[in-house]
Structure 1
Amino acid sequence: MARILAIDFGLKRTGLAVTDELQIIASGLTTVDTKELLPFLKDYISKENVELFVIGKPKQMDNTDSESEVLIKDFLEKLQKQIPQMPIKRVDERFTSKMAFQTMIDSGLKKKQRRNKALVDEISATIILQSYLYSK
């Protein structure tokens, strides 16, 4: 089996998470400057066996797309042109940032550490990936 890589796309930063090769455990990978995301992904999949990208789909409470979905769709078009062989699944990402922040509190991180938005993005990507694994 190959890894699954999750993407919590953001305007400035993008959180990434990845499974183990047996697709059992989701772990935070890193946070990347969004401008460097495509080169990072191309480099990563050249070194690691990845079979799927899971990308968060931001929704409003009424189930309509959030305004950031326009940015994600632009990114998806670029991603499919640059890495056309990689399948993409979308996963509802409502509340992942709040869940990530709560995870940081529950794990005992100090207030200063919880202000690290890059860590929140990475944990959010992990939550997106974990929810995808549960749904399989």
Structure 2
Amino acid sequence: MPGSGHHPYRPCHHGLSKFRSAAGEGSRDFSRRIPAIDTMRILAIDLGDKRTGLAVADQETGTVMPVAVLEIPRGPLLVDAIIELIQEHEPARLLMGLPLNMDDSEGDRAGICRTFGDSLEAASGLEVSYQDERLSSDEANRRMAGSGRTHGGKKKLRDALAACVILEDYLAR
């Protein structure tokens, strides 16, 4: 919201409440290491220009589910919001979608993801791995086809479903 210092994100489905984060609010120190978790949960991140989708997987059960779509620009506020989700879901590690070119080379967008991943790794103390995300949004769109959702509803869910696809591809390899 302009001028308020708060930047809301909208969850990927109705059951979650809205979340607000503000830079500099309180004296939270995210630079300390988050303790290792016994579960084998992975939090996947599909970093976008306008929206960032997140999904979580439990390797023990093989379940993958969308967590949220953050409508926060890349930078410290987005890192802050992801740290909050890390604390809530307690993953053992993070997985970032890596937008490779069709010839397997890394372009500018891959560099942006790696830089953001470095920031997130430093802030959370968790290892960040990377997974080819080519065509993950196309697969998310395919899964939503015929869902009965409005265009706006699909748009809000697409990024979290793309994060699910990234996680599924990672777990299948």
Q: Shared fold (TM-score greater than 0.5)?
A: yes
- Select 1:48's aligned residue among 78, 83, 89: 89
**Paired residue type of 1:28:** P
Structure with more helix by fraction: 1
Structure 2: gaps of 5 or more residues: 1-38
Structure 1: gaps of 5 or more residues: none
Structure 1 segment 35-114 matched on structure 2, within 5 A: 35=73, 36-83=77-124, 85-105=125-145, 108-110=146-148, 112-113=150-151
How many Å separate the matches in 2 of 1:23 and 1:40?
26
Displacement of 1:96 = 0.5
**Paired residue type of 1:37:** L
Displacement of 1:111 = 6.5
Displacement of 1:49 = 2.2
Displacement of 1:39 = 1.3
Q: 2:96, 2:117 within 8 Å by CA — same for their partners in 1? A: no
Question: C-alpha offsets along residues 79-120 of structure 1, whole Å, 9 cap, x if unaligned?
Answer: 12211x201111011111111101111xx2236347632211
From the superposition, tell whether residues 104 and 114 of structure 1 become closer, same or farther in structure 2 (CA, over 3 Å): farther
Give the alignment's Cα RMSD to 1 decimal: 2.0
| Bigger relative contact order, structure 1 or 2 (CA pairs below 8 A, ≥6 apart) | 1
Displacement of 1:64 = 1.1
Q: 1:8, 1:16 within 8 Å by CA — same for their partners in 2? A: yes
Runs of 4+ in 1 over 6 A off after TM superposition: none
Whichever of the two has the greater Rg, that structure is 2
- Select 1:117's aligned residue among 142, 147, 155: 155
Determine the structure 1 residue equivalent to 2:4. none
Question: C-alpha offsets along residues 27-53 of structure 1, whole Å, 9 cap, x if unaligned?
Answer: 111101233421122112223321010
Determine the structure 2 residue equivalent to 1:26. 64
Give aligned pairs, total: 132
How many Å separate the matches in 2 of 1:67 and 1:125?
20
Displacement of 1:23 = 4.8
From the superposition, tell whether residues 98 and 48 of structure 1 become closer, same or farther in structure 2 (CA, over 3 Å): closer
* Paired-residue identity, %: 29
How many Å separate the matches in 2 of 1:63 and 1:73?
15
